[in-house]
Amino acid sequence: MKTLTTTLPGVLIVELDQHVDSRGRFIETYRASNYAAHGIAATFVQDNLSTSVRGTLRGLHFQTGPHAQGKLVWVSRGEVFDVVADVRRESPTFGRWVGTTLSAENRRQLWIPPGYAHGFLATSEHADVAYKVTEEYAAKAEASVRWDDPDLAIAWPITEPPLLSPKDARAPLLREILRAA
């Protein structure tokens, strides 16, 4: 495994090794000691799996306060365009984002430390996104930012409106969250 840095502090792309033979392939998706050696010393408490059809956009989600989650995200089937946005008010990179393609084929994972918003767009016919989190889901700490926030100006690879949940369609702009705080 190797890690690649991004323009956001602490956000890392993890490239996993694979072993291929006539039976198929084997990929070790997590071993605590390997991740700690690469600067990801997290304790995961919950695993999630999301299945989406092409054009589905989920996010941008995060949890606040003591329930802020670190996430280790990967795709076991299909492909997504995955986005991380810095929503930490005191951060020098506040309001910036990075995006990368995660797919079953490229074997990449994304490590997202607590304090960042996360979302993805399914770019294949079907996409299964798995992720480990460092804090359990807490409804009272749940927060989101609208996917098309003009201040973030995320360059989603779409030409048609995405499929959104009602909650994601109603998500506030980042400036509205700041005014409410």
Beta-sheet strands, E only, within the chain: 2-5, 12-15, 19-21, 24-26, 46-53, 57-63, 71-77, 79-86, 97-103, 108-112, 116-122, 126-133, 142-144
Residue 3 · residue 16 · CB < 8 Å = no
Q: Which are the contacts of 44, defined by CB distance < 8 A and separation ≥ 6?
A: 30, 72, 132, 133, 134
Give yes or no for residue 181 having a pLDDT over 80: no
pLDDT, residue 178, reads 78
Domains with residue ranges and CATH for the chain: 2-21+43-180 (2.60.120.10)
102-127 mean pLDDT: 97
Catalytically active residues, by annotation: 61, 131
Mean pLDDT of the chain: 96
Give yes or no for residue 61 having a pLDDT over 80: yes
DSSP letter for 89, please: T
Q: Which are the contacts of 20, defined by CB distance < 8 A and separation ≥ 6?
A: none
